[in-house]
Structure formats: structure tokens, C-alpha cells
């Protein structure tokens, strides 16, 4: 017996001849938050709807507290859900929307009223209660949908990309509020999102979905620090990953990497990334000329010219930047590769566009992938 509250075993689902979910197995303990992270079409919504009982899996079991609930209708599963479309009843007032699950539960009027006002106060929508649901702003609609789900005394809360259509600013504000809410209420929840930052920030565990399969499962830190393949590494950084290409060669003085792009240079692994010496040796790839991709996140590089560089130094031309206020994300081009590096705002004290600049990449922080398979090295 596992101690899982919710358990999925080998869930499969096809629409016609398209496999939407392929052998999904997952477990979730009470009070935990799990994120389903994946690009559109990866099967997140279908999985949530199967858990809710709104759709039926082709095979596999859903267990709650160790009991199979495959045949339980949706309203008996103790599940509340916020839909991607929010699914507000636009012809009703906010009050009536939030009341909906309570009316279905046939609660007495006074109890209902008290609950509605409590949750409305909690989500700061008290002033909207009498407003029609189609007269709300994006952020307000989102809160109402949240209130309608949370007012229900459910055991499991499902959230399907609830912030997706909001301005970035409102979105991040709601994200923090949402996490606070979750922490205060201590409810078990599953949160589907295509946004890596949301998944990282909100959850205890992340399951990365890709083409209906679980690509990687782990804590946010595990996943962010060591994405299992190159696709995920790029996805997690919003395609802001720096990638160096090369092949592993053996030399008398140790294992070396012969870089081919964006610069041609031969570097000794023990000098630049001593933590990788053993991994590369164990893999037995030394001397096989295996092609690899070395990835470094923008925050793990520097561009300040004053500092001594202990990593790989590359000279590149600055072609643009993104101003994040206290930090500047600098884009520098070398041989058709654009490197992305965070820098302090002081760099804008001079006119940097078009300037050549030294960039220092810290290879000890790098994650290395097999170029052919795309899989991370040193993953056992």
C-alpha cells in the first residue's frame, strides 16, 4: 500500500487514431501540489478531465485513498476544477456563480450566504458580488472562477491554465496570491500550465508532459537544475539557453572537449568543469568523439569586463538587450549564435549596441547533453 491520496496507474487515452495520453502513472499525497507542465497539446487538459471524471480513460485506473474510482461519476469524486476557459455562467451574477456548487449541495440559504461572503472576502471580490459575470475584467473573472471552485468543500482541486489569458503583470501577482492561498488552505491540488515559471513557483512536484507521456518527474529544483533532455532545457528557460557544440576527445593530459560552435577551441575538462571529469570518464565516451551540447543558463554567465574569468571566455558583439530594471539581459552574437547573459544595469552607462564584449561562461554550472539522443549526460 502506498500512502498516495490520488494515484494514476497506466492511464491511456486516444482520440480516433491519435494517442493523447500514453501510460501515465502518477501519485500525489494529501496537501501536495503537483504541476503538469507541458506545451499546448501535450495532454494536460485531458488528464485533468479524466481525473475529474468528465472524460473516461481507455484503460488504466484512478485510485483515491487506495480505492479504484473509475466508475464514480464526477460529482461523487469530491473534485473541484477551474477550467482553462474559466467557464463562468455569464448570464448570472458573481454571487450566483459562486453559489452554484452550494445550490447543488442543497445547503441552507444562510450557510450558503456566509460561505460565499467568506470566500469573496478572501479573494477580494466582495464588491463584485452583484455584478454580472460578463461585465468583469480578466483578473476579476479569474478570481470568480477560483472562488467558485474553492467555495466547494472538495478533496482535490484541479486548475487548468487559469492564468493563461492575463497580462504578464496581473499574472505574476495572482501567482503569488494563489500560492499563499494554497499554503493557507493546505488543499491537495493539480495545476496544469504551459508556463515553466508558474510550475516552478507553485508546485511541490512537477510532471513534465510531452506528447502524452511523462518526460520527467521531480521537484522544481531537480527539474530546473537538470532537465532530462535538450528540449526540456530549452523550454524551461523560454529558449534563452546558451548552447555550445563540440565533441569529446582524449589527450595525454586528460579528457578534452573540442568545441565546434560558436567558437572553435579545445578545452581540458579538468580545467573548465572538473565536476564533469568523472561523468565523462564513466560514460566511456572519452575518445569516441561523441558529439555533445553544453548548455549554460543566462544567469550563469557574466559579461562584466572588469572581472577575472575562470570559465570559458568568448568575445561577441552585443546586438540588443532586454531591460528588466535591476538586471539587463544582454544579447551578443558570435558566428550566428546569439548568447544571452544577465548583467547589472551599469552596463547601460555606455552605448553597448554594436560593441564587442568579453563574455565569461561558467562551465562548472553547465548541463551537458548527448547531441544525438538529446539526453542529459550523467543521468543514471
Applying CB under 8 A, the residues found at the interface with other proteins are 49, 52, 54, 74-75, 79-81, 83-85, 87, 89-92, 100-101, 103-105, 137-138, 148, 152, 167-170, 172-173, 175-176, 179-180, 183, 196-197, 200-202, 220-221, 224, 236-240, 297-299, 319-327, 331, 338, 342, 345, 353-354
Q: Is the dihedral of CA 147, 148, 150, 152 positive or negative?
A: positive
Where does residue 41 rank: exposed (0-12), middle (13-18), buried (19+ CB within 10 A)?
Answer: middle
Q: How far is the CB of 94 from other proteins (least distance, A)?
A: 15
Q: Which three cell numbers stand for residue 305?
A: 569586463
Of 284 and 354, the one with the shorter C-beta distance to other proteins is 354
Kindly state the smallest distance separating residue 215's Cβ from other proteins, in Å: 17
Q: Name the minimum Å distance from CB 219 to other proteins.
A: 9
Task: Please identify, using beta-carbon distances, which residue of 238 and 287 lies nearer to other proteins.
Answer: 238
Grid cell 501515465 — which residue? 24
* Least distance (Å) between residue 75 CB and other proteins: 4
Closest to other proteins by CB, 38 vs 101, is 101
Beta-bridge mates of residue 79 = 156
Given the complex with other proteins, which of 236 and 292 has the nearer CB atom?
236
Nearest distance from residue 52's CB to other proteins, in Å? 6
| Nearer Cβ to other proteins (96/258) | 96
Q: How far is the CB of 238 from other proteins (least distance, A)?
A: 5
Cβ-based nearer residue to other proteins, 224 or 369: 224
Amino acid at each position: 500500500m502506498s500512502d498516495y491520496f490520488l494515484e494514476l496507474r497506466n492511464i491511456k487515452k486516444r482520440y480516433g487514431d491519435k494517442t493523447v495520453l500514453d501510460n501515465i502513472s502518477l501519485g500525489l499525497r494529501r496537501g501536495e501540489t503537483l504541476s503538469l507542465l507541458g506545451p499546448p497539446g501535450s495532454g494536460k487538459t485531458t488528464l485533468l478531465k479524466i481525473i475529474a471524471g468528465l472524460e473516461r480513460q481507455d484503460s488504466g485506473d484512478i485510485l483515491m485513498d487506495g480505492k479504484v474510482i473509475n466508475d464514480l461519476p464526477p460529482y461523487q469524486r469530491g473534485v473541484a476544477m477551474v477550467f482553462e476557459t474559466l467557464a463562468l455562467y455569464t448570464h448570472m451574477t458573481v454571487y450566483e456563480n459562486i453559489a452554484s456548487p452550494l445550490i447543488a449541495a442543497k445547503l441552507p440559504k444562510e450557510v450558503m450566504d456566509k460561505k460565499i461572503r467568506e470566500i469573496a472576502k478572501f479573494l477580494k471580490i466582495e464588491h463584485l458580488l452583484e455584478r454580472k459575470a460578463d461585465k468583469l475584467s480578466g483578473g476579476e473573472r479569474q478570481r470568480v472562477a477560483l472562488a467558485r471552485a474553492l467555495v466547494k468543500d472538495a478533496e482535490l482541486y484541479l486548475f487548468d491554465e487559469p492564468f493563461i489569458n492575463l497580462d504578464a503583470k496581473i499574472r505574476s501577482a495572482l501567482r503569488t496570491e494563489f500560492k499563499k492561498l494554497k499554503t493557507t488552505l493546505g488543499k491537495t491540488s493539480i495545476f496544469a500550465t504551459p508556463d515553466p515559471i508558474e510550475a516552478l513557483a507553485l508546485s511541490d512536484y512537477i510532471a513534465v508532459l510531452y506528447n502524452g507521456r511523462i518526460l520527467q518527474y521531480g521537484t522544481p529544483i531537480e527539474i530546473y537544475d537538470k532537465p532530462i533532455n535538450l528540449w526540456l532545457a530549452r523550454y524551461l528557460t523560454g529558449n534563452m539557453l546558451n548552447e555550445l557544440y563540440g565533441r569529446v576527445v582524449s589527450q595525454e593530459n586528460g579528457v578534452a572537449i573540442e568545441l565546434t560552435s560558436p567558437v572553435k577551441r579545445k578545452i581540458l575538462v579538468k580545467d573548465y568543469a572538473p565536476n564533469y571529469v568523472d561523468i565523462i570518464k564513466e560514460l566511456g565516451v572519452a575518445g569516441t568523439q561523441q558529439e555533445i551540447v553544453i548548455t549554460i543558463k543566462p544567469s550563469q554567465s557574466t559579461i562584466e569586463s572588469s572581472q577575472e574569468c575562470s570559465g570559458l571566455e568568448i568575445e561577441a558583439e552585443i546586438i540588443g538587450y532586454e531591460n528588466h530594471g535591476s538586471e539587463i539581459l544582454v544579447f551578443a552574437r558570435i558566428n550566428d549564435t546569439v548568447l544571452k547573459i544577465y548583467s547589472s544595469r551599469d552596463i547601460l552607462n555606455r552605448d553597448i549596441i554594436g560593441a564587442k564584449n568579453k563574455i565569461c561562461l561558467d562551465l562548472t554550472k553547465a548541463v551537458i547533453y548527448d547531441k544525438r539522443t538529446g539526453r542529459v549526460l550523467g543521468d543514471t
